[in-house]
Structure 1
Amino acid sequence: MTDIRPRIEFERMPAAPRSEFAQEHLVRMRDGVRLATDVYLPDGDTTQGATVLVRLPYDKSGDYTFMPEIARYMTARGYRVVVQDVRGKFRSEGEALLFVNEAHDGYDTIEWIIQQSWSNGIVGMWGDSYYGFTQWAAVSTGHPALRAIVPRVTGTDLAQMPLPVPGVPTVDVQMGIMRVYPLIHFLGNDDVNWDMDWSRRPYSQTVEEFFAAVGQRSPSYDLMFPNPVILRRFPAGHPFDAPPVPVLMTIGWWDNCAPWQWADHEEIARRPGWANSEYLLIEAIDHENYRHADAPVAPEHDHAVDAEARARMMPRYLDPALEFFDIFLLGRGRPQDIPRVRWELAGGGADRWRTAESWPPPETRRTTLYPSAGMLSAQEQPESQWVSWVHDPDDPVPSAIPNAFAFLHSYPDERATADRADVLTFTAPAADAPLDLVGPVAFQATIASDGPEMDLFLRLLDVAPDGSAHLIARGQTTLLTATTPTQVTVNLGHTGYRLRAGHRLRLTVASSDAPEYVVAPGTGADRWSAVETVRNRQRLLLGGLDGAHLTLSVSTDS
C-alpha cells in the first residue's frame, strides 16, 4: 500500500561554534548534571566585580540571541557576564524539559559564580522570554547573592496551557505556537526547524509523524498531551513569595506574550514589598524586539540579519538594564534616579518616551464605546439585538502573520479581514484631533453559540484615511459552556498609542485566529485530537443593559 502521508521536512540546528571571547566551563548541578557555561570578563580587568547571569535554551553561542555580542557590550561597562545553556540544551547535559529544573539550576549556578575568583559575590540576571522566566525561577529560591533582575517580554506563567477552573465560565484560548514550542525547542540538545501542517486533523497525529521522522520524542510535549501534567515550575515556592529583589520589567505593546507579564505586574501590585521593588519599562516593541517606529522593518534595520542594525539596537536594548544594574549591583546612583514607569507612546508619526509614578498614569480617564450596526460610537443603544456569524473550523480566520513573535517585522495591513463573512466589524467616526490611548483596554459582552464552546477574538485597529488597518491591541477568550448566553469580559491588554486626527478606531470580532491559536473543532472535543468538525453559529448581544461595550483608557494630558 502506498503511503500517502506528506513527507515530514525538518532541519536540525546544532550548537554554533564557541565564542572566542569566552571561557567555557561545565558547571555541576546538585544532581551531578553539568551545564555548559560561558564566562566573559572585562578586558584586562583581573579584579573582582559584579556578574550578570543569563540562562537560556537558545544556544549561548548562536546567532538567534547573539549572546557573544551582548556579553561584550556588558563587559565593556565593567560587568562579568555568565551565559549558560539550560539543562539538556546544546552543550549542556541532562534532559531537555520545559520549566521544571530552572529554579534549582539557577540557584546552583549562582552559587558557582560567587565562588569564582573574579566574582565579588553580587549577581544580577537579564534576558528575554524563556531567559526572563529563568530569572523568576532563580528568584524563587531566595539566593542572597541575586540582587536585581531584568526580565523582558516574559512572565512567571509563560507558555502556560489553559486549564478549566471550576465555577469560571471562560479560559484562555489554546495557543498553537505554545503547543509547537516544545517540539522545536525542547526536543533534545539541538533545536529543530519544522513547520507544523495545520491543514490536517488530528493535529496529534501530525506530531507523531514528526517524532517518527526525527527519531525521538519531546518529554515536554508528552507531559502536555494526552494527559496534561501541571508542571512544578517553582519547587521552592512562587517567586512572589520569595524576598523581593529590584526588578525592571520590560513589556512590549505588541508582544504576543505580554498578557503573562501584565498578570505578573498586577500580582506584584497586590504585594507591597514587591510593588516597592518594581520598575516598569513599556516599549513599542514585539517579542523579537522589532520597533513600531521601524515597522514594517526594512532589511537594513533588521537586527536578526544585519550586524550594523544589531549594533545600533544595542544601546536601546541594553542601556536601561545596565543603568539599573549600575544602581542595584554597583551602588552607583540612587533608586529614585530611575522613574518608576517609563513608557513609549507609539504612533502619531514618531514614537516618544514618557515617565510616570504609576501605571496607568494618573492623567487618564475611562471612556466607553458601543458597537452597533457596523459602527463604534459613544452613544449607547437602548434596544438590544443579537448579531451572528458562522465559525467554520475548516475555513478559519487566518492569523495576520505566520510568526506572531515578530509581529512588527511586517506590521500587516489587516483591512481585508473586515470583508470576511465570519468577522463582525465596527468602525468609529474619524477622530477630530489626536487621541492618546493610554492604559488598559477591555471588552464586555454577552455571547452564545449553538455549539458546546465558543472562542471570541477581538482586535482593536487604527484605520488610516487610505483604508489601511493596523493593530493597536487584541484579546481573546474561550467560553466553555456556550449554549447558554453568558456575559464575558475580555482583557485586550494595555496600550500607549496615539490615534492621529482623521484616523478611525475599528473593532473586529471573530471566532478564530489560525494557526496562532488552535481552532475549535465545533464539537467540544479536545482540539488537539479532534478529527470531526462542525460549523457553529455564534452570537453577540448588542445594545441594552447587557450589550457589548469597549472600555478604553484615554490620556487627558495630550
Structure 2
Amino acid sequence: MNFKILLALIFVNLIQAQKFYFPKTAVNDSLTLEKQMPTLAAQVISNLQTVKYKPKNDVDFSDALFRMQIVAKEYKKSIATLAEHRNQFADHNMAGYKSMGYEVYSMAKVTETTTKTSFRKALQEAFNKKYESLDEHLLPRVGLAVYGDVNNFRKLLKKALDKQKGKDSIDYPSALALCKAYLNYKTYSSIHPKIMQLLALKDKEKFIAETRDLTTKNGNTLTITIIRKKENKLPLPVILTSNIYAGEIDHFFGKRAAVYNYVGAVVNTRGKRNSNDENNPFEHESQDLYEVIDWVSKQPWSNGKVGMIGGSYVGFSQWAAVKNLHPALKTIVPQVSVGIGIDYPAQNNVFVNYMLQWIQYVTNNKYTDEADFSNAAKWDSINTAWYKSGKSFRALDTISGKPSKIFQRWLDHPGYDQYWQKMVPYKEEFAKINIPILTTTGYYDDDQIGALYYYKEHLKYNKNADHYLVIGPYNHGGAQSFGFTYVEGNPIDPAARISIDDLAFSWFDYILKNGKKPEILKDKVNFQVMNTNTWKHAPNLDQIHTSSLKFYFQNGNNNSSVFNKPTQQSFTPLTVDFKNRNDKDTYYSVSKEDSIKTTNSIYFESEVLDKDIILSGNFSGMFTLSINKKDVDTNTYLYQIKPDGKLFLLSSHIARASYVKNNEVRQLLTPNTIEQIPIKNAYIMSKKIEKGSRLLLLVGVNKTPSWQLNYGTGKDVSDETIKDAGEPMMIKWYNNSYVEIPVYKD
C-alpha cells in the first residue's frame, strides 16, 4: 500500500474516533513537545467549535478558546478572544481578572515578534500597558490575577503527559486537558518572577506598606499588614480584615481598602505568618480582635473609626469581633459569612467531609497549602476510600494520612453547644450589637445559611437593628466580589451584575464619611428576582414573599394535585441499605432533554403550571414519616422543570432529624412510629418560574462519600461504622408531608 494512502487512512480513523496524533516521544522530549503542542491546540480549536464539544455557555467557550489560541501561538487572536471573554463578565473589566496573566503573556509574545525585542523587555512593556489601562479600584486584584504556582503547574503538566506514555494518539478530552496544563506551565514559568517584581515596583510607587507583629496581653503574636495610598496624608478610617488565609491575598485586602481612600489593615490569625502560636481556627478571634481594633484605632494614620469587611471565614471574624464590641468599631460588612456550628463544619448538624480538606489547607503551613487543597483527585480518593471502607467518620483523618486534633475536636461537638456558642454572639448577646451592618450573600452561596443565621438572630434579639441585607444570584465568590454573568452554568440578569466591592465601600463612605446611602439599599432586605431583571425590596425577610403553595408528597394519581391536601392517607416507601457501598445509580427522565439521579430518593412531580409564579424565599414544611431507626439525615431538593425540559435547581436542604427541633439538644426518633419533623434552614432563592413549567421535589436519605453517614442507631454518628448498619433503613413518607413554597406577588 502507498505510504501516503496509509497515513491518510490513519488520519481518517483518528478523526472518526475523535483522536489526534501525538507522538510517544513528546512525553519525555521537551523539544518534540514544544513542536507538537501548537498543532494539537489547533486541532482542539477545530473540535471546540463543533456541536459535540462546544461548551454549554459562551463564557466557558471563550475561556477554552483563548487558551487553545495561546498554545497554538495565535497570540493576536487570543487577545481579541480575551477581550470578548472579559466583556461576558458583567460590567467589570476585572470580573475575568484571573485571565490577566495569559493576556499579558500574549501581549508580550506579540511585541517580541513584531519588534524583535527580548521577551523580558516585551513583558515589561506589556505589563505596564495593561496596568496603566485599569481603573484604580481594580489595581488590588492584579497581584491575584498574575500569580501562579509554577511548581504545581509543572507537576500537573507531568501528570497529564504521563497519561500519554506508550501512546501515539490522544482523545479530545485528554488533548484539551493537556493543552490547558501545558499553557499554565508555559505561561507562568515564562512570566514569573519578573511580573511580580514589576507589580512590586508599581505598588511601591502608589502605596505605603508596613508589616509588623502585635503581641497580645496573653503573649500571643499576630502579624498585621498596613497599606495606605501615598497621596493620603491625613488620618483616615481603618478598614480591618481578619484573615486566616495568609499570603498574597493579605496585600489584596489592604490595597483594596487603600484605593477606596481608607487605611487597609489586615491581621492574620494565630499561627499564621510570623506567629508561632497554635493555629486553632475560629477559637480565638473574638478575644484577639478586640485588642487589634484597639491598637489600629490609636495609630497616627487612623482617625479613630474602624470598619471591617470580608467573606467566608473573614465574614465569620466580624461576627466574632462584635461578640465583644469595641467602641471604635463603627460598622461591619460580613459577606458570605461562615455560620460556625450552623452551616460549617456541619450543616444543620450533618458534618461535611470538606472540613478535613479545609483544615489541612489552613494549618499545613503558616500560609495556605494551595497545592494540597486544589488536588481534587487526592481528596476524592480519600473520601471514596473512607466510604468504601465502612469505617467511622472519625477515621477520615487517619485515612487521609494526617491525623488532626482539630478535626477530632470538632466532631466532639455535634450539637450547637457552648464550644461553638462562645465563638460568636449567642442569643441575647445579639441585642447589644447597635452598629450598622451590611450583609451580602447569594442564592448559590455555600454559606448562605450561616450568613442568614446571623442576620435573623440579630433582628430577633434587636428589633431596631440597623442591618441591611443584599442577596442575589451569586455563588460564594460572587457575593464577595462581583456578579458574574454565569453562575452554576446559568446566566444571571444584567441587573444582578453589580460590583460588591463598590457596594461595600459606598456603605463605608455612608457610615464612616457621612456619604450617600448606596442606591440599591431601598429597604432593609434587597433581593434580585432572577428571570425578571429587577430588584425587589422589603422591610424584613418574612416579606420577600406574600403567600405560599403547599406541595404534598403525592403524585398525580386519580387526578389529584400535589398542591391539594390529600383526602386519604397513604405513603411512599424508601429503603436504603447502608451495608451496600456499590449502589447502582437510578435516574428519572423528566424529559427528552434532562434527567435526575434518584438513588436513595423518591420524587414527586407537579402538574404543568398554568401561569407564571415568583418563588421567593426558602421552602419550609413538615415530614410526616415513620422509620425503623432512631435517626436519619434527610436530603431535599426542589427543581423547576422548565418548559424546554431542562432542570433548574431552586433550593436544597440537608438536616439531621434528631436535631431539627433543637440544634443544641439531640432528640432521637422512636422507631416504627409516625413522627412529624419540621423542615427548616433550606436555601433561599428568588426566581420567576415560567408558565408551562413543572416543579419536581426530590426527597431522600443522605448516603454519599461527601458527607458523614448516619446509620440511625442513636449513637454518636461520628463513631458509627458499617457494622452498625444492621437491617436496611426503611422509611414511610406519608402523603400529608409537604414543603411550603414561598411565592411573591406585587
CA 1:335 to 1:416, structure 2 compared with 1: closer, same or farther past 3 Å?
Answer: closer
- Partner in structure 1 of residue 732 of structure 2: 539
Kindly indicate whether the alpha-carbon contact (under 8 Å) linking 2:237 and 2:263 is maintained by their aligned counterparts in 1: yes
Superposed, which structure 2 residues align to 1:113-512 within 5 Å? 113-158=296-341, 172-178=349-355, 180-186=357-363, 189-192=366-369, 193=372, 195=379, 196-198=382-384, 199=387, 200-202=389-391, 203-210=393-400, 213-214=401-402, 218-225=404-411, 230-231=418-419, 234=422, 238=426, 239-272=429-462, 275-289=464-478, 293-296=485-488, 316-333=499-516, 338-348=521-531, 351-361=533-543, 364-373=546-555, 377-393=562-578, 394-395=580-581, 415-418=595-598, 420=599, 422-479=600-657, 480-483=668-671, 484-491=673-680, 492-512=682-702
CA 1:367 to 1:143, structure 2 compared with 1: closer, same or farther past 3 Å?
Answer: same
Decide which of 282, 291, 295 is 1:108's aligned counterpart.
291
CA 1:387 to 1:156, structure 2 compared with 1: closer, same or farther past 3 Å?
Answer: closer
Q: Which 10-residue stretch deviates more, 335-344 or 350-359? A: 335-344
Listed one character per residue, the Cα deviations across residues 282-327 of structure 1 (whole Å, up to 9, x for unaligned) are 12112232758513459xx9xxxxxxxxxxx996121111111111
Bigger radius of gyration among the two: 2
Q: Which has the higher helix share?
A: 2
SS of 2:650 mapped into structure 1: strand
Aligned mates of 1:513, 1:380 — CA distance in 2: 30
1:29 paired with 2:216, answer yes
Kindly indicate whether the alpha-carbon contact (under 8 Å) linking 1:454 and 1:482 is maintained by their aligned counterparts in 2: no
CA 1:513 to 1:502, structure 2 compared with 1: closer, same or farther past 3 Å?
Answer: farther
Q: CA RMSD of the aligned region, Å?
A: 3.4
Aligned mates of 1:345, 1:222 — CA distance in 2: 40
CA 1:162 to 1:453, structure 2 compared with 1: closer, same or farther past 3 Å?
Answer: farther
CA 1:395 to 1:508, structure 2 compared with 1: closer, same or farther past 3 Å?
Answer: farther
Aligned mates of 2:306, 2:508 — CA distance in 1: 9
Shift of 1:443: 2.2
1:552 paired with 2:741, answer yes
CA 1:100 to 1:414, structure 2 compared with 1: closer, same or farther past 3 Å?
Answer: farther
CA 1:219 to 1:201, structure 2 compared with 1: closer, same or farther past 3 Å?
Answer: same
SS of 1:519 mapped into structure 2: coil
SS of 1:377 mapped into structure 2: coil
Shift of 1:86: 1.1
SS of 2:619 mapped into structure 1: strand
Kindly indicate whether the alpha-carbon contact (under 8 Å) linking 1:201 and 1:530 is maintained by their aligned counterparts in 2: no
Shift of 1:122: 0.4
Shift of 1:125: 0.3
TM superposition score normalised by structure 2: 0.60
Shift of 1:81: 0.8
Q: Which 10-residue stretch deviates more, 106-115 or 281-290? A: 281-290
Shift of 1:148: 0.2
Matched-pair identity in % = 20
Aligned mates of 1:119, 1:397 — CA distance in 2: 61
Q: Post-superposition, which runs of at least 4 consecutive aligned residues in structure 1 deviate over 6 A?
A: 16-19, 160-163, 396-399
CA 1:398 to 1:334, structure 2 compared with 1: closer, same or farther past 3 Å?
Answer: farther
Aligned mates of 2:445, 2:522 — CA distance in 1: 22
Shift of 1:525: 4.3
- Partner in structure 2 of residue 44 of structure 1: 231
SS of 2:319 mapped into structure 1: helix
Q: Which amino acid is 2:447 matched to?
A: C
Report how many residues are paired.
Answer: 495
TM superposition score normalised by structure 1: 0.79
The unaligned stretches of length 5 or more in structure 2 are: 1-151, 153-192, 204-208, 374-378, 586-592, 658-667
